[in-house]
Structure 1
Amino acid sequence: MNHPLDRPIWTALTTRQTGFAQEAGGIRRYHPAFGVFAASAEGTPESFRDLAALVPIGGRAHEAGAFY
């Protein structure tokens, strides 16, 4: 990635909006009270497991664009 806007959700959740983030391993997602978007540091199978750990049964998360 060459520009922060190449991955806006990841950039937001790892910089100015970290206070709104939930984190597990290499995944960040907005707290459900603020949004459903999630992003990963790397698009690995482990990242998907980390995401599953953050989303309760019946919960929602949406990766915006590429997950990696």
Structure 2
Amino acid sequence: MPSVAGRERRTYGTGGQVPFATRMPKWLKEEYDAAAQRQGLSLSRLLEELIKLEPLLSPREADDQSADQLSA
């Protein structure tokens, strides 16, 4: 994939990446492409950053795990 001027580079070999594919409506992909371009990111990097924003546990589950760790 060609480089894009101004886009942040990652150090080669540090990711342990695996392929990720999905299907979505064309209009949605166009919106994500535009958002990625506005932020100077690749679409993959934008999706990675968005996933990081979404906690994998609900607040209640996170609180329960924290309490379990404290009592251990």
TM-score (structure 2 length as normaliser): 0.23
**Which protein shows a greater Rg?**
2
More helix by share: 2
TM-score (structure 1 length as normaliser): 0.24
More strand by share: 1
